Structure 1
Amino acid sequence: MTHNLIPFIGVTGGIGSGKSMICRIFSCLGIPIFEADKEAKIILNENEIVKKSIKELLGNQAYKENEVYNPTWVRAKIKEDPRLIAAINSIVHPAVRQKAIEWQLSQKNKPFLIYESALLHSENKPELINKLIVIKADKADRIKRINMRDSLHPTDIKTIMEVQPSEETYLKQVDYIIKNSNNDLIWPQVEKIYKSITGLT
Structure 2
Amino acid sequence: MIMQVGITGGIGAGKSYICRLFKVLGVPIYNADNSAKMLMVEDPEIIELVTTNFGKQSYFPNGMLNRKYLATQIFTDESKLQMMNEIVHPKVRKHYNDWVEIQLRKNDYIIKEAALMFTNDHYKELDKVIVVKAPYEDRIKRVLERDKRPKQQIEEIINKQRKEEELSVLGDYFVSNDDSKLIIPQVIELHRQFSEMNSLVSKS
Pairing partner for 1:193 from 186, 190, 194: 190
2:145 maps to 1:157: no
Identity %: 35
Q: Match for 1:199: what amino acid? A: E
SS at match of 1:17: coil
The aligned residue for residue 31 of structure 1 is: 27
Residues 6 and 123 in structure 2, CA contact (< 8 A), matched pair in contact too: no
Are 1:115 and 2:112 an aligned pair?
Answer: yes
2:86 and 2:57 mapped to 1: Cα distance?
A: 19
Cα-to-partner distance string for 1:146-187 (whole Å, 9 max, x where unaligned): 122222121331232233222233222211011102443111
Query: 5 Å matches for 1:172-183?
Result: 172-183=169-180
Shift of 1:43: 0.6
Contact 2:130 2:172 in 1 (8 A): yes
Superposition TM-score, scaled by structure 1 size? 0.89
Alignment length (residue pairs): 197
Deviation at 1:143, TM superposition (A): 1.2
Q: Which amino acid counterpart does residue 161 of structure 2 have in structure 1? A: Q
After superposition, give the CA deviation of every residue in 1:47-77 in whole Å (9 maximum; x if it has no partner): 1101111122222222223222112111211
Partners of 2:13 and 2:139 within 8 A in 1: yes
Q: 1:99 aligns with which of 95, 99, 107?
A: 95
Paired AA for residue 46 in structure 1: E
- Greater fraction helix: 2
SS of the aligned residue for 1:80 comes to coil
User: 1:88 is aligned with what amino acid?
Assistant: M
Change (3 A) 1:121 1:80: closer
2:135 to 133, 138, 144: 138
Is the contact between residue 9 and residue 132 of structure 1 (CA under 8 Å) also seen in structure 2?
Answer: yes
Which runs of 5 or more structure 1 residues have no equivalent in the other structure? none
For 1:177 and 1:168, the matched residues in 2 are separated by 12
RMSD: 2.0
Shift of the 194–122 alpha-carbon distance from structure 1 to 2, 3 Å rule, reads farther
What's the TM-score, normalizing by structure 2? Answer: 0.88
Aligned with 2:163 (options 153, 156, 166): 166
* Alignment partner of 1:12 is 2:8: yes
Return 5+ residue gaps in structure 2 as ranges: 198-204
Pick the aligned partner of 1:78 from 74, 80, 84: 74
Letter in 2 for 1:106: I
Q: Distance in 1 between matches of 2:153 and 2:25?
A: 34
Amino acid of the structure 2 residue aligned with 1:52 = E
Say whether residues 1:62 and 2:58 are aligned partners.
yes
Tell me, yes or no, if the aligned pair for 2:29 and 2:112 is still in contact at 8 Å.
Answer: yes
Q: AA paired with 1:64?
A: F
